């Protein structure tokens, strides 16, 4: 099926590794023109060479830099059709520092990205996809700052969907379950806390964790114009990990 993304302009935060990189790869494969950002300049340069997309080094907690990136990308490509808010501080656990980091990165980077992109998306009839987490819908080991802010992301995006539906802008979330990739949080837990890793593996009836490409598929489908009547949705992609029923 043609996802009608050929020539569309997509902006992805955190595009050098994990889910964000997989999203960049899938969007490029679908013919989109992609710009991504990430915090580490060397990783951005490496990903640019490997992916053939336009990368920018910036800290998404810097609201001015994030807004400038959106504006510069829109000018370079002649507009914006898709934005994917992917970056997380991964500040798991209690403590004020984790709360501050989760607020500024997980929640406020999503808010600032959307605010900067919405004028362009209104013109193009574009789409927002934000990465939340299953930790935003149930109480698990990441229930504190991380889980709370991921729940806030879902609430914020649903509000964007309602407010801007008449203008043709769609906004959705994808909530991944545990996702394993080299350099990711679960690889670190596997080595540093094997008991927690074993528990997490045991909870998932598939017997494994997600691959970034599997999450990227969900993101790309929601970003596609084919999903023209899907907005305000939180799509859980967790291999039946969570037990709650969405009504």
Q: Work out the angle between the directed axes of helices 41-51 and 18-29 (0-180°, nearest 10).
A: 30
Q: Which sequence spans correspond to the domains of the chain? A: 9-182+211-233
User: Is residue 52 within 8 Å of 28, Cβ to Cβ?
Assistant: yes
Active site positions, annotated: 132-133, 146, 150
Q: Is the pLDDT of residue 185 over 80?
A: yes
User: Is residue 87 within 8 Å of 132, Cβ to Cβ?
Assistant: no
**Nearest CA-CA partner of 129 in 90, 163, 161, 103:** 161
Helix or strand holding residue 81 (H, E):
none
**Burial class of 123 by CB neighbour count within 10 A (0 to 12, 13 to 18, 19+):** middle
Q: Is the pLDDT of residue 247 over 80?
A: no
Find residue 10's DSSP bridge partners: 34, 82
List, for residues 115-149, the tens digit of each pLDDT value.
999 999 999 999 999 999 999 999 888 899 999 99
Q: What angle do CA 175, 177, 182 make, to 5 degrees?
A: 115
For domain 9-182+211-233, give the CATH superfamily: NAD(P)-binding Rossmann-like Domain (3.40.50.720)
pLDDT category at 78 given cuts 50, 70, 90 is very high
Q: How far apart are the first and last CA of the chain?
A: 29
* pLDDT score recorded for residue 218: 98
pLDDT category at 1 given cuts 50, 70, 90 is confident
């Amino acid at each position: 099926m043609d996802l009608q993304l050929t020539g569309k302009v997509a902006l992805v935060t955190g595009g050098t590794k994990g889910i964000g990189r997989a999203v960049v790869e899938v969007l490029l494969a679908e013919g989109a023109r992609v710009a991504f950002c990430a915090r580490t300049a060397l990783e951005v340069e490496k990903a640019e060479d490997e992916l053939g997309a336009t990368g920018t080094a910036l800290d998404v907690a810097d609201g001015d830099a994030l807004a400038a990136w959106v504006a510069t990308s829109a000018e370079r490509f002649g507009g914006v059709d898709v934005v994917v808010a992917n970056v997380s501080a991964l500040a798991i656990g209690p403590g004020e520092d984790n709360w501050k980091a989760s607020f500024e990165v997980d929640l406020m980077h999503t808010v600032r990205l959307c605010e900067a992109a919405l004028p362009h998306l209104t013109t193009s009839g574009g789409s927002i996809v934000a990465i939340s987490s299953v930790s935003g819908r149930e109480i698990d080991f990441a229930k504190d700052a991380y889980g709370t802010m991921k729940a806030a992301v879902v609430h914020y995006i649903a509000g964007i969907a309602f407010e801007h539906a008449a203008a043709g802008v769609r906004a959705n979330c994808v909530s991944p379950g545990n996702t394993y990739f080299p350099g990711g949080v679960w690889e670190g837990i596997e080595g540093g806390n094997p008991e927690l890793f074993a528990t997490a593996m045991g909870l998932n009836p598939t017997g494994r964790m997600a691959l970034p490409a599997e999450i990227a598929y969900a993101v790309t489908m929601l970003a596609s114009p084919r999903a023209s009547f899907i907005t305000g949705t939180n799509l859980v992609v967790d291999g039946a990990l969570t037990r709650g029923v969405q009504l």
